[in-house]
Chain A
Amino acid sequence: MAEQIYYEDVQAGMEITPLAKIATSLMLVKWAGASGDFNPLHYEDDFAKAMGVGAPIVHGALKRAWLGQLMTDWIGEEGRLKKLSCQYRGMDYPRKMKTMEEPHDGETWWCKGKVTGKHVDGGDHLVECEIWVENGKGERTTPGSALVALPSRGAL
């Protein structure tokens, strides 16, 4: 894991360390099992067509979970996630599998973010962030925000 980040290290405009993800049909199967979301929208071609999305789409909640990882990776073990929100604006379609382990070539998604502000509230050193998942074309399909509390060097 990366070194612990402190409140004093961050300022508005700073980039959150990006996180790359590749959604595959395999990952969607694992997610369905791990989350218990068995909506056929995410694995049945005909059902997805009838729902108006064309083909099985990546679970919104999986993209939200990626954004959770983006934040927990960045804030480290001493940081605390206070709020996380996102909107499922654009559909994302997983890569299909070529072998048992390897997906076909295709899109890579990036979870990204930047610091929009920081303030101290009571004993909490809070940092506000804008976060999003970006598809292979650079479109933000899943914009959101996060509020985190970071440790302060002053409080050591």
Chain B
Amino acid sequence: MTEGSLITDELRALIGVAWEPAVFKIEEGAIQRYAQAIGDPNPMFNDPEYARMTRHGRLLAPPGFTGWPVREARAKEKLFDTLIKAGGPPRILDAGVEFEFFETIGAGDILTATLSVASITERDTRLGRTMFTAAETTYLNQKGDLVLRSRSTLMQF
């Protein structure tokens, strides 16, 4: 740990280590509740009868929906906790996300999500000395296809 740095040795040790993968199912009702919460009336996310008539044949997950609880949210909570316990600053905010979609995700899919911390950096912001953690999660479906990759950035100050 360098003088005045927010990045402890415990934090540094998290970088590049993949977490235990999480396996979960994409449920139809969870997709519907998610679309309703956003206020998105798209029948591909709300109406199973309609969706069955389309080439997809099932409800699709709205972009970013990855099962309930949304893995982004669950992994984020665990990551918040891990980063604070490893000595990161106590105030933590979500700074942004980047999704790369490869294959369709829909009702009935079983996904395996694996998170790893890609980098931890720090710089001065209007909030003072601020630490940025970039976490990457890959999602494979039941066929083993890569369906989604997300990169989240968390800031702590």
Q: Does B48 contact A (CB under 8 A)?
A: no
A69, B60: Cα distance in complex, Å: 13
Which one of A8-16, A81-89, A94-102, A113-121 contacts B? Answer: A81-89
Please list the residues of chain B having a beta carbon within 8 angstroms of any beta carbon in chain A.
30, 33-34, 36-40, 42-44, 54, 62-64, 68-70, 72-74, 76-77, 80, 91-101, 127, 153, 157
Q: Does A34 contact B (CB under 8 A)?
A: yes
Range of interface residues on chain A? Answer: 35 or more
Chain A nearest CB, measured from B47 CB (Å): 12
**Which residues 55-75 in A have Cβ within 8 Å of B in the complex?**
60-62, 64-66, 68-69, 71-73
Contact of B93 among A84, A88, A144 (CB under 8 A): A88
Contact of B63 among A1, A52, A81 (CB under 8 A): A81
Determine the residue in chain A with the shortest Cβ distance to B74.
A36
Given pairs A37-B76, A86-B96, 15 additional interface contacts (CB within 8 A): A35-B34, A37-B69, A37-B77, A51-B93, A61-B70, A69-B38, A69-B42, A72-B40, A72-B62, A83-B98, A83-B99, A83-B100, A85-B98, A87-B95, A87-B96
Over the window 22-35 of chain A, the binary record of Cβ atoms lying under 8 Å from chain B Cβ atoms (1 yes, 0 no) is 00000100110111
Residues of B within 8 A of A83 (CB): 98-101
Q: Is the CB of B64 within 8 A of A61?
A: yes
Contact A81 B101, CB 8 Å, known A60-B94, A69-B38: yes
Determine the residue in chain B with the shortest Cβ distance to A67.
B63
Task: Decide if the interface of chain B is mainly helix, strand, loop or mixed.
Answer: mixed
Work out how many contacts link A and B, with CB atoms closer than 8 A: 113
A37, B47: Cα distance in complex, Å: 25
A21, B37: Cα distance in complex, Å: 12
Residues of B within 8 A of A17 (CB): none
Q: Does A4 contact B (CB under 8 A)?
A: no
Residues of B within 8 A of A69 (CB): 38-40, 42, 62
Chain B nearest CB, measured from A123 CB (Å): 15
15 A-B contacts (beta carbon < 8 Å): A31-B37, A34-B68, A35-B72, A52-B127, A61-B64, A64-B64, A65-B34, A68-B38, A68-B62, A72-B62, A73-B42, A82-B100, A84-B98, A85-B99, A88-B95
